[in-house]
Amino acid sequence: MLTELVGRGLRPPLLSISDGAPGLIGACEQVFGRSLRQRCLIHRARNLLAKVPAEAQTEIKNAYWKLFDLDGDKVDDDEHASKIVPGPELVAYVQARIEVFAKTYGPRYPAAVKCLLTDREQLTSYLRFPVEHHRRIRHSNFIERTFGETRRRVKVIGRLPGELSCLSLVWAVLDRASRGWRGFTMTSEGTRALQDLRRALLDPPNSDPASPPKPARTSTPKLSEPSPNIPIRAEPTPEDLHRTWDATCHAAWFRCRRGGEAVVSGEQTCARALTAEPS
C-alpha cells in the first residue's frame, strides 16, 4: 500500500503515527526510512494499564500522562518543562522522566515498566515538532474514529457484494468524517521549524568527505559549447532552397512593380540571398 502511494506521488512524511502493529511498523521503516515514527501514546497507555492491578490503575495512569504533559499550568512542580524549545533537548528531558518512572514503579510492576520501555524512543518523536501540534500528533485517534464508523456500518451489512462496494462505503465514511476535521494551528515560527526539520531529515547536506564536491554552475556558457538558450539552426534542405528562391523572386518582382527601384533579375537576387552571410 505504501509503495503504491509513493508511486502515485506521495512525498516522504515527516512523521508517521501508528500503534504496535509490527507489519505497519516494518512497512513504514522500509518505505519511509528517514521519516520519524511516533507510537500512539493512548495505545501504549492501554497496554500499560492492562498489566497493573485495578486498584493501582488510577495512580499509574496519572503518573503516565504526567510524563508527557509539559504545559506549565498542568505541571505545577516543574515549570521548566514548558520553557524548553521543541527538539532534541525536550526529547532528552522527557526520556529522563521515563527513566524516573521506571525506577519508581519497576520493583512493584515490572511487566508494566517493561511495556513502557519497549520502543521508548518512539514515544517522544512528536516533541521535535512545534508545541501547538503536540496534542494532535502524539496519538492515532485522528483515524481511529473512522475505523469505528466503518465497522459499525459493515456489521449491519454482513457481507459486501464486492470490492467496489467496500471502497464506496469507506470513501463515504471518510468524506463524512472529514467535515469535522480541524486543521493544525500554523504560525510563522512553526512553519520555519517544520522546514528546518524536513531539511535535516529528508534533505540532509552532503557531509561525506570522500565524495567530490559538485562543480558550480555558471550562467555564461563556454565558447566551445553552444548556449542552451539559442536554438540551433538545421541545415537547409533542397525544398527549403526552392521555397527561398521562389519567395525571393516574387519579392523582387513586387518591388519593381511598386516603386522606381532599379530592376534586378530574379536570378541575381536569389544568388545574393543564398550566398550572403547570416545576420
Segments making up each domain of the chain, as ranges: 2-139, 140-181, 238-273
Looking at the predicted structure, is the pLDDT value of residue 119 above 90? no
Query: In this structure, what C-alpha cell is assigned to residue 244?
Result: 527561398
pLDDT of residue 116: 93
Confidence of residue 126 (pLDDT cuts 50, 70, 90): very high
Residue with cell 500554523: 186
AA identity, residue 272:
R
Identify whether the C-beta of residue 121 lies closer than 8 Å to the C-beta of residue 92.
no
In whole angstroms, give the CA distance from residue 57 to residue 36. 30
User: 138's torsion region: left (phi>0), alpha (psi -120 to 50) or beta?
Assistant: alpha
Closest CA to 142 of 17, 263, 56, 247: 17
By percentage, how much of the chain surpasses pLDDT 90? 27
In whole angstroms, give the CA distance from residue 66 to residue 64. 5
Looking at the predicted structure, is the pLDDT value of residue 30 above 80? yes
Q: Which of 37-41, 114-118, 233-237 has the lowest mean pLDDT?
A: 233-237
In whole angstroms, give the CA distance from residue 36 to residue 15. 5
pLDDT of residue 260: 46
181-212 pLDDT per residue, tens: 777 788 888 889 899 988 888 877 665 555 55
In whole angstroms, give the CA distance from residue 35 to residue 57. 34
**Residue bearing the bigger pLDDT, 153 or 95:** 95
Closest CA to 123 of 199, 67, 193: 67
Identify whether the C-beta of residue 249 lies closer than 8 Å to the C-beta of residue 270.
yes
Is this structure's pTM higher than 0.85? no
Query: In this structure, what C-alpha cell is assigned to residue 20?
Result: 504496535
Tell me what the mean pLDDT of segment 224-234 comes to: 53
Distances (CA, A) of 266 to 217, 254, 274: 50, 11, 12
In whole angstroms, give the CA distance from residue 121 to residue 33. 15
Query: In this structure, what C-alpha cell is assigned to residue 15?
Result: 512523521
pLDDT of residue 246: 54
Looking at the predicted structure, is the pLDDT value of residue 135 above 60? yes
Distances (CA, A) of 177 to 39, 154, 276, 279: 23, 16, 74, 67
Q: What is the mean pLDDT of the chain?
A: 77
Query: In this structure, what C-alpha cell is assigned to residue 155?
Result: 456489521
In whole angstroms, give the CA distance from residue 97 to residue 103. 10
In whole angstroms, give the CA distance from residue 78 to residue 71. 10
pLDDT of residue 270: 47
pLDDT of residue 65: 94
Identify whether the C-beta of residue 12 lies closer than 8 Å to the C-beta of residue 34.
yes
Cβ within 8 Å of residue 178, ≥6 positions away: none
